[in-house]
């Protein structure tokens, strides 16, 4: 792991206001730093603010106040087009519900992010990403409905990796999986991190969080602890 700072979040608040209500403050002055090569689990109960925090760190939402600096750029000040560019170049996302297009193959689902770039070739990077996550080649042309939950999540992870992002965010990535598939997916994230990839996993499950090298606990919109986890050490890989 290097000492390069990837994310600096300072005094983040996020409030949601609905007409006729007093509003909800999902985050209350959260500060967090994440360095290149870390494997961080953000853990908390439903409604704790952990997914809100991921959305702010991942440029999917804007803070009500505070700042997010990603790789030296204060992204909280960027317009929507610039934010989309940052997400495309630097960030990968994996979600509980996979979000795969049902009528397209595994290969085509992984290629989707490349359509928004100037990539000269779609197949080679998609094939490489599928191979990295251990997806079987004889299923590259299968649609999501023909795949198991674990296989669908591998496709989703490959899609998150296809643009070679600096950080992979995973929001409850094992929430729709059985215990065996959950273990396989978390071992995959561990291996990606061992190869030098920065990984941030948001979860309510302590069994999932134990794979991380660092565990940040969120409760009632605040970070209540930030401590070392029991996951394996990262080995930096150089080319």
> 40-54, pLDDT tens digit by residue?
999 999 999 999 999
Place 239 in a pLDDT band, splitting at 50, 70 and 90: very low
What is the gyration radius of the CA atoms in the chain, in angstroms?
18
The predicted structure's pLDDT at residue 52: 95
Provide the Cα torsion 11, 54, 88, 134; round to 10°: 150
Kind of pairing, strands 214-219 and 39-43? parallel
- Give the Å distances, CA to CA, from 213 to 87, 127, 230: 24, 29, 6
CA-closest candidate to residue 86, choices 76, 95, 99 = 76
Write out pLDDT tens, residues 184-195: 999 999 999 999
| pLDDT surpasses 70 at 2 | no
| pLDDT surpasses 80 at 152 | yes
Place 233 in a pLDDT band, splitting at 50, 70 and 90: low
- DSSP lists the bridge partners of residue 30 as 12
The predicted structure's pLDDT at residue 104: 96
Place 203 in a pLDDT band, splitting at 50, 70 and 90: very high
Q: Domains of the chain, with CATH numbers?
A: 38-63+81-228 (3.40.50.300)
Write out pLDDT tens, residues 82-141: 998 899 889 999 999 999 999 999 999 999 999 888 778 899 999 999 999 999 999 999
The predicted structure's pLDDT at residue 188: 96
The DSSP line for 86-109 is HHHHHEEEEETT----TTS-HHHH
| pLDDT surpasses 70 at 19 | no
- Whether 52 and 27 have beta carbons less than 8 Å apart is answered as yes
**35-54 burial, b if ≥16 CB within 10 A, otherwise e?**
bbbbbbbbbbeeebbbbbbb
Bigger pLDDT: 37 or 117? 37
Place 1 in a pLDDT band, splitting at 50, 70 and 90: very low
């Amino acid at each position: 792991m290097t000492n390069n700072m990837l994310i600096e979040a300072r005094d983040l608040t996020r409030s949601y206001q609905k007409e006729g209500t007093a509003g909800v403050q999902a985050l209350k002055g959260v500060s967090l730093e994440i360095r290149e090569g870390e494997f961080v689990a953000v853990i908390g109960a439903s409604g704790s603010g952990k997914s809100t925090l991921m959305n702010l760190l991942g440029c999917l939402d804007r803070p009500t106040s505070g700042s997010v600096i990603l790789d030296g750029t204060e992204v909280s000040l960027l317009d929507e087009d610039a934010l989309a560019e940052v997400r495309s170049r630097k960030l990968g996302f994996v979600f509980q519900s996979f979000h795969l297009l049902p009528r397209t193959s595994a290969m085509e689902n992984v290629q989707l992010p490349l359509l928004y770039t100037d990539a000269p070739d779609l197949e080679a990077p998609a094939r490489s990403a599928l191979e990295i996550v251990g997806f079987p080649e004889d299923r590259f042309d299968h649609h999501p409905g023909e795949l198991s939950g674990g296989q669908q999540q591998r496709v989703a992870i490959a899609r998150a990796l296809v643009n070679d992002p600096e950080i992979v965010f995973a929001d409850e990535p094992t929430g729709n999986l059985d215990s065996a598939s959950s273990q396989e997916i978390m071992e995959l994230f561990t291996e990606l991190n061992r190869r030098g990839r920065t990984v941030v996993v948001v979860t309510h499950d302590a069994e999932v969080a134990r794979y991380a090298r660092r565990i940040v606990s969120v409760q009632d919109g605040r970070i209540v602890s930030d401590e070392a986890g029991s996951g394996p050490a990262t080995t930096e890989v150089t080319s």
